[in-house]
Amino acid sequence: MGRTFVHALGLGVAAAALAACSPQVVDWGPYDVLTQRAPRPPSTLEGRVVDSATYLQARRFGEAWFRETTFGDERTITDVLGLFGGSVEVPCSELAVANGRCTKPVLPYVIRALDALDGEAKNLFRGNGGGYTSDLVIAFPPGTTLHGIPVPEHLHTGLDVEAGSPWPIGIVPKAAPAEDSNLPYLVEPSALDGGPAAPGKIRLGLTCATCHFSLDIDWDGKADLRSAWSNAPTPGSPYLPEHAWAIGNQDLRLGWVLALSKNPLLVFSVFSGALDGRTPDDARKFGRYVKANIESSPEAVLTEVVRGMAMQPRGFADDTPDALFNAIQLPVLYTRYNYPYNYDGNFINSQDRNNGVWTLALDPTSLVVLCRDRAGELAHFGFGPKNIYNEFTASELADLMVRGSPAALNDPQARARLRDDILGRTDGVPGLLDPHSMLLVPGLPNSIPTSIRNHPDNIAERRNRTPESFGGDAGYRGAVLGYAGLRARTPPELQRDAQIRDWITRYELGTDELLSASVSLMLDSLDPPPNHSPLLHGASELVRRGREVFNQVGCGGCHRGPFFTDNLVHALDEIRTQPARAEFGRQAQTFLAPPYDASTGTATKGGQRRVGYKTVTLRYVWGSAPYLHDGGVGVAVRSGAATPSSLAELLRLSERDKLYGTGPILAYLEREPDSHFRADAALSLQALVVRSERARVIAANRLSVLPVPGQARTLAAANLAIEGIGHEYYLENETPGGERVTALVAFLLALDDDPGTL
């Protein structure tokens, strides 16, 4: 009979059994999502009750800091990576070069795309005529290549650009100091072909908003907002600016964006890797290849690295630094009562979650802490046994990261200076983030050598901190305070702000965590955007029936309460979804991430965590197809199919009118990049709960349909760890478009900011 929703009824029992040996989950009582609004978060900042004015100001600060604070990563992004600083090979006159190829810088193509948003040239840095987009498209000449890899003529980056802004959301310009004015690789807006600009040079940094903001709320390929700033609503739009926050950029092609840099080798272990391998040994083999050939055959190595980066799916981000393909769909960040964080639930505390992104994702140079002479063999506690970093000493990896950097190519002596800075020898802080915005915490054992921790600057600035010094349950959180041994603190210039100083005095707040706490407050404050789909018009009774089905078959055992989560990590052998990410973090889940009280979200002492996946919220499933953590459950309406007039008619579409599987959907997008073709929420949700539909999805994800850039072959989505397997709780004896299926899907689609109002 298999794992049916009859078995799913037992999931509530399983959750109760887990609660019996773990802290109790939140008891929401007889909560009715269709008649009760989700509770608001408490008006607290760093655990202190604050007045409403302070709360709203902290929310505004959190908004700005989430999208603008770089912690100094512009040094990494500009001086080492060289964002948009790469060169492409384009066809040119035979008089120019013998082989008919010319090398052209990337940045002018980017500037041209930005400047063209309003249809008028040369006004980019004067407001760009109000031009905006939810998907910046960079046009390249036919036949363009990047390190030998073909570049799409219309490269859909998925970057969002607001009206009045010269740069995409999350790409932040930072003025360079006067002493750097002679560095030729810095960006000089006034010298670009975007029209008049203020004099001076800038560095570009990256922030969280790059991946987690989008102006396209309903994912129809069109921007719903001109701006995501809370003080700039879009006239006539059914959405508010804050509806753009935290929804996950489902169009972003982060691999291509980073591949267009001067030095893509910086992120070879994160966004590239063993394209044909799935094991740590395959990753180590890839690392040995890079290490052995980078000096003798640098272009061949870069070709393979860029090939892997270009293979990263649109709307996905492989953030596991293991040199293996392990894609996840960019997640929504509706965090209110939705702890622990990330799919594996390793981060219980929201500040730990923020810090993991800021110190690792925004500055990949900090990955040197995992090398064999630092965390080394102990790094398997966080990043799996036999990981790629065992192939490198910290010095070797740092040197590899900077050898092709704009700074080193401009000044060979800068190579050694950058390497020493990344190792922490220069200022006592590994990596290239602003040392004045960093603290040192234990992290992985020996991740930062004692000689570096005892650097005079660290002693003078009191950067070395124990977990206990952060108060509360931090003493139990240990290494997850900062895997890399680093903890981002409120930058000095913000600490000196008069408003911040007033808060600190009035509410007796700590300074170091204030920025992070404000970002967490902002994320916790958010409600998902409303679903305006005509499929739900007049469907109140259908949604009510769907809620009954949802409860009858046991969905509420895990997806419980107003936020549809029990806040538990369910074992991998129970949930059975794509295992790669859980296996990657097995040691961290088991030994580093502490046990926690699921009713309060605080760390506790003793016990071990189970390896698996956290129950995620169902809020905004109407806008976040495809489904499961790997984004593997996707079904789309084929191009040319008749437009259904009702939800039931849509769900009853024939097989020939549906395209099954995330892999084939992504492959279609590769062939038709301007189509904005994507998984349909209703059809994809049906495939979650109807066994026959899921079987077709899984089979389709195993088809070899995704083109490998620069090669005459294809791979399956399953090769990228996109399968759509597991979560095997089905409505048995139901066919597509059946009465109960239709009702259940209607209810799930209604889970927006106010499910009871259609």
Tell me how far apart the alpha carbons of residues 668 and 330 are, in angstroms, rounded to a whole number.
20
Q: What is the pLDDT of residues 134-184, one digit of tens each?
A: 999 999 999 999 999 999 999 999 999 999 999 999 999 999 999 999 999
Q: Which residues fall within 8 angstroms of residue 235, CB to CB, at 6 or more apart?
A: none
* Closest listed residue to residue 521, CA positions, set 40, 172, 26: 40
Tell me how far apart the alpha carbons of residues 262 and 530 are, in angstroms, rounded to a whole number.
41
> Average pLDDT of 651-676?
96
Specify the pLDDT at position 404.
Answer: 98
Are the CB atoms for 563 and 336 separated by under 8 Å? yes
pLDDT tier at 591, thresholds 50, 70, 90? confident
Q: Which residues fall within 8 angstroms of residue 190, CB to CB, at 6 or more apart?
A: 125, 196, 197, 198, 199, 200
Q: What is the pLDDT of residues 238-266, one digit of tens each?
A: 999 999 999 999 999 999 999 999 999 99
Specify the pLDDT at position 164.
Answer: 96
> Average pLDDT of 73-95?
92
Tell me how far apart the alpha carbons of residues 93 and 221 are, in angstroms, rounded to a whole number.
37
Specify the pLDDT at position 384.
Answer: 57
Specify the pLDDT at position 97.
Answer: 54
Mean pLDDT estimate for the chain? 92
Tell me how far apart the alpha carbons of residues 699 and 694 are, in angstroms, rounded to a whole number.
9
Q: Which residues fall within 8 angstroms of residue 412, CB to CB, at 6 or more apart?
A: none
* Closest listed residue to residue 631, CA positions, set 247, 216, 250: 250
Which residue shows structure tokens 């990949």? 364
Specify the pLDDT at position 19.
Answer: 36
Tell me how far apart the alpha carbons of residues 737 and 651 are, in angstroms, rounded to a whole number.
4
Tell me how far apart the alpha carbons of residues 371 and 365 are, in angstroms, rounded to a whole number.
12
> Is the pLDDT reported for residue 117 higher than 70?
yes
Please state which of the ranges 43-52, 85-94, 179-188, 267-276 shows the lowest mean pLDDT: 85-94
Please state which of the ranges 79-88, 90-99, 387-396 shows the lowest mean pLDDT: 90-99
In this prediction, what percent of the chain has a pLDDT beyond 90? 84
Tell me how far apart the alpha carbons of residues 205 and 115 are, in angstroms, rounded to a whole number.
20
Are the CB atoms for 678 and 134 separated by under 8 Å? no
Longest dimension (CA), the chain: 78
* Closest listed residue to residue 343, CA positions, set 589, 50, 512, 514: 589
User: Can you give 482-514 as a three-state secondary structure string?
Assistant: CCCCEEECCCHHHHCCHHHHHHHHHHCCCCCCH
Are the CB atoms for 596 and 604 separated by under 8 Å? yes
Angle at 498 between CA 493 and CA 504, to 5 degrees: 95
| Dihedral over Cα of 91, 157, 216, 625: its sign | positive
pLDDT tier at 51, thresholds 50, 70, 90? very high
Q: What is the pLDDT of residues 319-333, one digit of tens each?
A: 888 999 988 889 899
* Closest listed residue to residue 371, CA positions, set 269, 477, 454, 259: 269
pLDDT tier at 16, thresholds 50, 70, 90? very low
> Is the pLDDT reported for residue 378 higher than 80?
no
In this prediction, what percent of the chain has a pLDDT beyond 70? 94
Q: Is 574 helix (H, G, I), strand (E, B) or coil?
A: helix
> Is the pLDDT reported for residue 587 higher than 50?
yes
Are the CB atoms for 737 and 750 separated by under 8 Å? no
Specify the pLDDT at position 23.
Answer: 52
Specify the pLDDT at position 316.
Answer: 92
Q: Which two tokens stand for residue 219?
A: 């994912």
Cβ-in-10-Å burial (0-12, 13-18, 19+) of 410 comes to middle
> Is the pLDDT reported for residue 13 higher than 80?
no
Are the CB atoms for 613 and 582 separated by under 8 Å? yes
Q: Is 187 helix (H, G, I), strand (E, B) or coil?
A: strand
Q: What is the pLDDT of residues 537-586, one digit of tens each?
A: 999 999 999 999 999 999 999 999 999 999 999 999 999 999 988 888 88
Are the CB atoms for 660 and 696 separated by under 8 Å? yes
Please state which of the ranges 428-442, 475-489, 646-660 shows the lowest mean pLDDT: 475-489
pLDDT tier at 94, thresholds 50, 70, 90? low
pLDDT tier at 8, thresholds 50, 70, 90? very low
**Residue 627 vs residue 607, higher pLDDT:** 627
pTM: predicted TM-score of the whole model, two decimal places: 0.94
Are the CB atoms for 69 and 492 separated by under 8 Å? no
Q: What is the pLDDT of residues 212-239, one digit of tens each?
A: 999 999 999 999 999 999 999 999 999 9
Specify the pLDDT at position 302.
Answer: 98
- The beta-carbon contacts of 142-147 under 8 Å, at least 24 apart in sequence, are 142/91, 143/90, 143/91, 144/88, 144/89, 144/90, 144/91, 145/88, 145/89, 145/710, 146/86, 146/88, 146/89, 146/259, 146/260, 146/306, 146/310, 147/299, 147/302, 147/303, 147/305, 147/306
Phi and psi for 480 in degrees, rounded to 5? -70, -10
Phi-psi domain of 739 (left: phi exceeds 0; alpha: psi -120 through 50; beta: other) = alpha
pLDDT tier at 4, thresholds 50, 70, 90? very low
Specify the pLDDT at position 445.
Answer: 81
**Residue 30 vs residue 8, higher pLDDT:** 30
Q: What is the pLDDT of residues 124-137, one digit of tens each?
A: 999 999 999 999 99
Distances (CA, A) of 718 to 253, 325, 637: 19, 10, 21
Tell me how far apart the alpha carbons of residues 562 and 577 are, in angstroms, rounded to a whole number.
24
Are the CB atoms for 570 and 613 separated by under 8 Å? yes
Please state which of the ranges 78-87, 90-99, 559-568, 734-743 shows the lowest mean pLDDT: 90-99
Q: What are the E-state strand segments in 301-369?
A: 316-317, 328-329
Q: Which two tokens stand for residue 258?
A: 């980073």
